[in-house]
Amino acid sequence: MLAHQHKRNVKRTTFRDCARRCVYCGTSLGLDIATLDHVYPLSRGGTHDPGNLVAACQGCNQLKGSLLPNEFFARYPWAGANFMRYARAVHRTFKRGARRAVSLACAQAA
């Protein structure tokens, strides 16, 4: 029972920290449809730490899958731009990586 309550509190806090939006596409979310995404995937060595958790819609969470942040943002620069705007409580290294990936993608497109 306590583990379930803890997970609900983590989701609620993460949801609030992400401005109640999917950090990747920017869509407004309700708490009931928001999913928790591990920015650095668990399957690649990520943790459950709050600085590695963001709110995402189900579509973006599935699109990202087990991609590392730099891989995902390089492939989808729009997701990196939204991530920089809405992922307010993530580790700074993730934000720097998003900024770098978006810049590189924009430079390659020009």
9-27 confidence digits (pLDDT tens): 989 999 999 999 999 999 9
Q: Which residue do the tokens 């809405």 mark?
A: 86
What are the residue ranges spanned by the domains of the chain? 2-109
Q: Is the pLDDT of residue 7 over 90?
A: no
Residue 78: predicted pLDDT: 93
- The secondary structure of 48-109 as a DSSP string is --GGGEEEE-HHHHHHHTT--HHHHHHH-HHHHHHHHHH-TTS-HHHHHHHHHHHHHHHHHH
CATH number of 2-109: 1.10.30
User: pLDDT tens, 76-93?
Assistant: 999 999 999 999 989 888
Do the beta carbons of residue 79 and residue 73 sit within 8 Å? yes
